[in-house]
Amino acid sequence: MNENPADLAPELCVLIAAVLGLAGGLFLPRRRQWQVAVVCAAGLVAGLAAAGVAATRADLMAFDAFAVDPVTHVTRITVLGSTLAVVALARGQVRDHPRETEHYVLILLSALGTVVLGATSDLLVLVAAYLLASIPAYALAGFGKDAPGTEAALKYYLMGALLGVLMLAGVTLLSGIGRGTAYPVLRVGLADAPQAAVAAGVVALLAGLLFKAGAVPGHFWVPDVAEGAPPAIAAYVTTVPKIGAFAALYRFGAETLPDAWPALLAVVAAATMTLGNLAAFGQDNVRRLLAYSTVSQAGYLLVPVAMAGRTDLAQPAVLYYVAAYAVTNLGAFAVVVATGRDDLAEYAGLLRGSPLVGLSLVVCLLGFIGTPPTAVFVGKVLMFGAALDGHYAWLAVVAAVNTAASVFYYLRWIVPLFRRPSVPSPPARGASAVAVTAALCSLALGIGSGIALS
| Residues 52-111, interacting with another protein (CB under 8 A) | none
Residue 449 CB, nearest approach to another protein (Å): 5
Select from 81, 230, 299, 316 the one that contacts another protein (CB under 8 A).
Answer: 316
Residue 87 CB, nearest approach to another protein (Å): 27
Phi, psi angle pair for 182, to nearest 5°? -75, 145
**Interface region with another protein, contact rule CB under 8 A, candidates 14-22, 174-182, 327-335, 411-419:** 411-419
CA distance 333 to 93: 13
Whether omega before 217 lies within 30 degrees of 0, making that bond cis, reads yes
* Number of residues written out for the chain: 454
411 binds another protein per the rule CB under 8 A: yes
264 binds another protein per the rule CB under 8 A: yes
Q: Within 10 A of 87 (CB to CB), how many other CB atoms are there? A: 24
Instruction: Return the number of the residue (305 or 382) whose C-beta is nearest another protein.
Output: 382
Select from 5, 282, 424, 426 the one that contacts another protein (CB under 8 A).
Answer: 282
Residue 446 CB, nearest approach to another protein (Å): 9
174 binds another protein per the rule CB under 8 A: no
Site for another protein in 178-197 (CB under 8 A): 195-196
Q: Which residues contact 453 (CB under 8 A, 6 or more apart)?
A: 316, 320, 378
199 binds another protein per the rule CB under 8 A: yes
**336, 238 in Cβ contact below 8 A?**
no
Residue 122 CB, nearest approach to another protein (Å): 22
1 binds another protein per the rule CB under 8 A: no
Select from 389, 437, 440, 444 the one that contacts another protein (CB under 8 A).
Answer: 389
**Interface region with another protein, contact rule CB under 8 A, candidates 29-37, 143-151, 178-186, 234-242:** 143-151
H/E element, 67: strand 66-68
CA distance 52 to 85: 17
268 binds another protein per the rule CB under 8 A: yes
394 binds another protein per the rule CB under 8 A: no
Select from 154, 177, 257, 359 the one that contacts another protein (CB under 8 A).
Answer: 154
How many residues bind another protein (CB under 8 A)? The answer is 79
**276, 302 in Cβ contact below 8 A?**
no
List the end-to-end C-alpha distance of the chain, in Å, as a whole number.
Answer: 29
Q: Which residues contact 245 (CB under 8 A, 6 or more apart)?
A: 117, 118, 209, 210, 212, 213, 214
**Interface region with another protein, contact rule CB under 8 A, candidates 56-64, 75-83, 178-186, 397-405:** 397-405
Give whole-number Cα distances, 142 to 12, 88, 225, 335, 362, in Å: 27, 19, 9, 22, 30
